[in-house]
Structure 1
Amino acid sequence: MRLPAGLLAYAGRGPAWAQWLDRLPALLRELQGEWQLAVDGEAAFGHTAVVLPVRTASRRPAALKVGFPHEESEQEHLALQHWHGRGAVELLRADPHRAALLLERLSTEDLGEQWDLEACEVVAGLYGRLHVPAPPRLRSLAAYVERWSAPLRDLPRGGPVPHRLVEQAVALARDLVADPATVGTLVHGDLHYANVLAGEREPWLAIDPKPVSGDPHYEPGPMLWNRWEDVVASAGVRDAVRRRFHTLVDAAGLDEDRARDWVVVRAVLSAHWMVEEAAGRDLDRDQRDWVTRCITVAKAVQD
Structure 2
Amino acid sequence: MIPETLRALIAGRPADELSARPVDGDAWLARLPKLVDEHLARWGLTPDGDPLHGENALVLPVVHDGAPAVAKFTWPHVEADLEHLALRHWDGRGAVRLLSANPAADALLLERLDATRPLTTVSVLESCEVIGGLFRSLDRAGSPQFPTVADKAPRWRGQLADAHRSVPPRLAEQALSTLDDLLAEAPPGRLVHEDLHDANVLAPLGPARGDWLAIDPKPVIGEWEYAVAPVVWNRADVAARAHNHRAHVRLRADVVADGAGLDLDRAYAWTFVRLVLNAVWAARYAPASDDFRGRMIALAKAFADPPA
TM-score class, shorter = over 0.9
- The alpha carbon displacement at 1:247 in A equals 1.1
Instruction: State yes or no: 1:295 paired with 2:294.
Output: no
The residue that corresponds to 1:114 in the other structure is 122
**Counterpart code for 2:30:** D
Q: Is the 1:191–1:223 contact (alpha carbons within 8 Å) kept by the matching residues of 2?
A: yes
**Counterpart code for 2:293:** V
Q: Is the 2:159–2:280 contact (alpha carbons within 8 Å) kept by the matching residues of 1?
A: no
Instruction: Map Cα deviations across residues 151-207 of structure 1 (whole Å, 9 max, x no partner).
Output: 221332xx13111110111112222333342x5201001000110000121110000
Q: Is the 1:146–1:174 contact (alpha carbons within 8 Å) kept by the matching residues of 2?
A: no
- The alpha carbon displacement at 1:300 in A equals 1.1
The residue that corresponds to 1:60 in the other structure is 67
The residue that corresponds to 1:104 in the other structure is 111
The residue that corresponds to 2:87 in the other structure is 80
From 22, 45, 48, the equivalent of 1:40 is 48
Instruction: State yes or no: 1:167 paired with 2:170.
Output: no
CA distance in 2: counterparts of 1:243 and 1:176, whole angstroms: 22
The residue that corresponds to 2:18 in the other structure is none
Distance change in 2, residues 1:242/1:154 (3 Å)? same
Consecutive unaligned residues in structure 1, runs of 5 or more: none
The residue that corresponds to 1:8 in the other structure is 7
CA distance in 2: counterparts of 1:239 and 1:177, whole angstroms: 27
Q: Is the 2:269–2:303 contact (alpha carbons within 8 Å) kept by the matching residues of 1?
A: no
CA distance in 2: counterparts of 1:8 and 1:180, whole angstroms: 41
Query: Equivalences for 1:201-216 in 2 at 5 Å?
Result: 201-216=209-224
Residue range with higher mean Cα deviation, 135-144 or 185-194: 135-144
Report % sequence identity: 45
- The alpha carbon displacement at 1:229 in A equals 0.2
CA distance in 1: counterparts of 2:186 and 2:229, whole angstroms: 21
Secondary structure (helix, strand or coil) at the match of 2:166 reads: coil
Query: Equivalences for 1:135-284 in 2 at 5 Å?
Result: 135-156=143-164, 159-181=165-187, 184-199=189-204, 200=206, 201-278=209-286, 283-284=287-288
- The alpha carbon displacement at 1:233 in A equals 1.2
CA distance in 1: counterparts of 2:159 and 2:148, whole angstroms: 19
- The alpha carbon displacement at 1:302 in A equals 3.5
- The alpha carbon displacement at 1:294 in A equals 1.0
Secondary structure (helix, strand or coil) at the match of 1:107 reads: strand
CA distance in 1: counterparts of 2:163 and 2:120, whole angstroms: 36
Aligned residues: 292
- TM-score calculated relative to the size of structure 2: 0.91
CA distance in 2: counterparts of 1:247 and 1:135, whole angstroms: 28
**Counterpart code for 2:168:** P
Q: Is the 1:82–1:135 contact (alpha carbons within 8 Å) kept by the matching residues of 2?
A: no
CA distance in 2: counterparts of 1:86 and 1:135, whole angstroms: 17
Secondary structure (helix, strand or coil) at the match of 1:41 reads: coil
From 131, 139, 151, the equivalent of 1:123 is 131
Q: Is the 2:81–2:106 contact (alpha carbons within 8 Å) kept by the matching residues of 1?
A: yes
